Amino acid sequence: MKTPESLGRYLSDVITHFKAGDAIELIGLSDAQKLFVLLGLLESWREAPPEARLILVHSDAKQLSYWHELVMVNSELVQPSIEIQAQQFWGFQRYLQQNHLRGPRLNALSSLSFRHRRGPVIWSSFGALWQTVTTPDHFRSACFSLAKGGEYDLDELIQKLQERGFRSVQEVEEVGQYAVKGGMLDLFSPAEIMPARLEFFADTLQKIKLFSADTQLSTGETEELCISSNWEEIFLLANRRADAQRLYDALLEESVNAADRQGVVDAFAEGHILQEMPILLPALRRGSAQLVDYLRPEDRIIFLEAADGALARFTQSFERWEKEYEDDQQQKRIVLKTEAHFLSPKKIKNRLAKFPKIEFGLNQSQAESEVPKLQTALLPPPSWKLPLITTDKSAMNRWISHLEDPARSHQVVLLVRQEEHMLRLRSVLQHHNIEYTQTQDRLSPAMFEPKKAAVTLGLGSVPGLLWDEVNGVLILPEHIFFGEYFLAAPVRKKEAKNAFRSFQELTIGSLVVHSDHGIGKYIGMKTMDVGGSTTDFLILEYADQDKLYVPVYRLSQLQKYSAVETEQKAPLDKLRSQSWVKRKSRAKGAIKDIADQLLKLHAQRKLSERIPYSSMSDMYYQFEADFPFAETEDQQKAIDEVNDDLSSENPMDRLICGDVGFGKTEVALRAAMRVALDGHQVMVLAPTTLLSYQHFETFSRRFKPYGVEVGVANRFVKADKVKQYLERFKAGTLDVMIGTHRLLSADVKPKSLGLLIVDEEQRFGVTHKEKLKEYKANCDIITLTATPIPRSLHMSLVGLRDISIIATPPMERLSIRTYIAQFDVELIKKAIRHEVQRGGQVFFVHNRVQDIMEMSAYLRTLLPEVTMTVAHGQMKESNVESTIVDFIQQKYSVLVCTTIIESGIDMPNVNTIIVNDADRFGLAQLYQMRGRVGRSTRQSYAYFLTKSQLASNEDARRRLEILATHQDLGVGFQIASYDLELRGTGNILGGQQSGHMDDIGYELYLDMLEKEMARLRGEEREADIDPEIKIPISASLSADYIREERQRLLLYKNLFSATSSAEIDRYRKESVDRFGDLPKEAYNLFQIAALKVLLRQLRVEQIQALRPTLFELRMGQLQASQIKTLTEACAKQSRILSLTADFKLLVNLGDKPLEDPMQRLIEVLIPLTIT
- What pLDDT does residue 58 have? 95
Stronger pLDDT, 863 or 920, i.e. the higher one: 863
**Average pLDDT score over residue span 457-486:** 85
- Domain 7-132+288-308+337-366, classified CATH 3.10.129.10, yes or no: no
Three-state SS at 552: helix
Pick 1055-1169's CATH classification: 3.30.930.10, 3.40.50.10190, 3.30.479.30, 3.90.1150.50.
Answer: 3.90.1150.50
Alpha-helical segments (H) within 953-1026: 954-965, 971-989, 991-1000, 1002-1016
Q: What digits encode the pLDDT tens for the residues 201-220?
A: 888 999 999 998 878 888 88
Lowest mean pLDDT among 118-132, 553-567, 1042-1056, 1098-1112: 553-567
Q: Is a pLDDT exceeding 80 seen at residue 773?
A: no
pLDDT over threshold 90, residue 755:
yes
- Which band of pLDDT confidence, cut at 50, 70 and 90, is reported for residue 828? very high
* Cα gap 638→643, rounded to integer Å: 9
H or E stretch including 283? Answer: helix 277-284
What fold is seen in the domain 147-227?
Penicillin-binding protein 1b fold (3.30.2060)
Per-residue confidence band for 1039, with pLDDT thresholds at 50, 70 and 90 = confident
Residue of higher predicted confidence among 899 and 861: 861
Confidence of residue 489 (pLDDT cuts 50, 70, 90): low
For residue 736, pLDDT beyond 70: yes
Residues 6+ apart with CB under 8 A from 889: none
| pLDDT at position 1113 | 93
Q: 603-786: what CATH class?
A: alpha beta
**Residue 978 banded pLDDT, cuts 50, 70, 90:** very low
What φ, ψ does residue 792 adopt, rounded to 5°? -60, -40
CA distances from 848 to 895, 925, 1064 (A): 15, 15, 50
In this prediction, residue 170 has a pLDDT band, given cuts at 50, 70 and 90, of confident
Q: Is the pLDDT of residue 994 over 70?
A: no
Instruction: Give the pLDDT mean for 555-569.
Output: 68
CA 173 to CA 186: how far, in whole Å? Answer: 10
The CATH class that applies to domain 817-968 reads: alpha beta
Residue 676's pLDDT band (cuts 50, 70, 90): very high
Contact 426, 457 (CB under 8 A): yes
Query: What is the pLDDT averaged over residues 1085-1114?
Result: 91
Under 8 Å between Cβ of 64 and 304: yes
First to last CA, the chain: 82
Q: What is the pLDDT of residue 997?
A: 67
- Please name the helix (run of DSSP H) or strand (run of DSSP E) that holds residue 1153, with its range, or none: none
Report the alpha-carbon angle 837-841-843, nearest 5. 130
DSSP state of 920: G
CB atoms within 10 A of CB 362: 13
Q: Mean pLDDT in the chain?
A: 82
User: What's the pLDDT score for residue 979?
Assistant: 46
Average pLDDT over residues 1041-1067: 86
* Banded model confidence at residue 963, pLDDT cuts 50, 70, 90: low
Sequence-distant contacts of 199-202: CB under 8 A, at least 24 apart = 199/1076, 200/152, 200/154
Residue 89: closest CA among 286, 333, 332, 257: 333
pLDDT of residue 300: 92
**160 vs 153: CA distance, rounded Å:** 11
Sheet holding 841-845, edge to edge: 817-822, 941-946, 910-915, 841-845, 894-897, 868-871
Q: For residue 755, what are the β-bridge partners?
A: 682, 780
- Residue range 223-278, pLDDT digits in tens: 999 898 888 888 887 788 888 888 888 888 888 888 888 888 888 888 777 778 88
Percent of the chain with pLDDT over 90: 25
Which sequence spans correspond to the domains of the chain? 7-132+288-308+337-366, 147-227, 382-481, 603-786, 817-968, 1055-1169
pLDDT at position 363 is 54
Give the pLDDT score at 712.
94
In this predicted model, which residue has the larger pLDDT, 959 or 103? 103
711 pLDDT above the threshold of 70: yes
Residues 6+ apart with CB under 8 A from 76: 442
- Tell me whether strands 144-147 and 224-227 are parallel, antiparallel or unpaired: antiparallel
The predicted model gives 714-718 an average pLDDT of: 85
pLDDT greater than 90 at residue 311? yes
Q: What is the mean pLDDT of residues 547-561?
A: 84
Tell which wins on pLDDT, 952 or 899.
899
Helix, coil or strand: residue 907: coil
Look at residue 966 and tell me whether its pLDDT is greater than 60. no
Is residue 127 classed as helix, strand or coil in its secondary structure? helix
Residue 4 has pLDDT above 70, yes or no: no
43-76 pLDDT, tens digit per residue, is 899 889 999 999 999 999 889 988 998 888 887 6
Please tell me the predicted confidence (pLDDT) of residue 485. Answer: 77
pLDDT band of 735, cuts 50, 70, 90: very high
Q: What is the pLDDT of residue 952?
A: 45
The answer on pLDDT for 490 being more than 70 is no
Q: Identify the residue with better confidence: 591 or 796.
A: 591
pLDDT tens, residue by residue, 117-148:
788 899 999 999 999 999 999 998 888 999 99
Domains 603-786 and 1055-1169 alike in fold: no
> How far is residue 429's CA from residue 432's CA, in Å, rounded to a whole number?
5
Task: Return the pLDDT at 789.
Answer: 58
Q: Residue 500 has what pLDDT?
A: 34
3-state secondary structure of 756: strand
Min mean pLDDT across 47-51, 417-421, 485-489, 825-829 is at: 485-489
| 53-62, 667-676, 1015-1024, 1047-1056, range with the lowest pLDDT | 1015-1024
Res 427 pLDDT > 70 = yes
Q: Top-level CATH class of 382-481?
A: alpha beta
More confident residue, 18 or 601: 18
Radius of gyration of the chain (CA): 34
Mean pLDDT, range 421-440, rounded to an integer: 85
- The residue among 844, 816, 845, 836 whose CA lies nearest residue 936 is 816
Model pLDDT, residue 1121: 80
Measured CA to CA, the distance from residue 1170 to residue 1122 in angstroms comes to 9
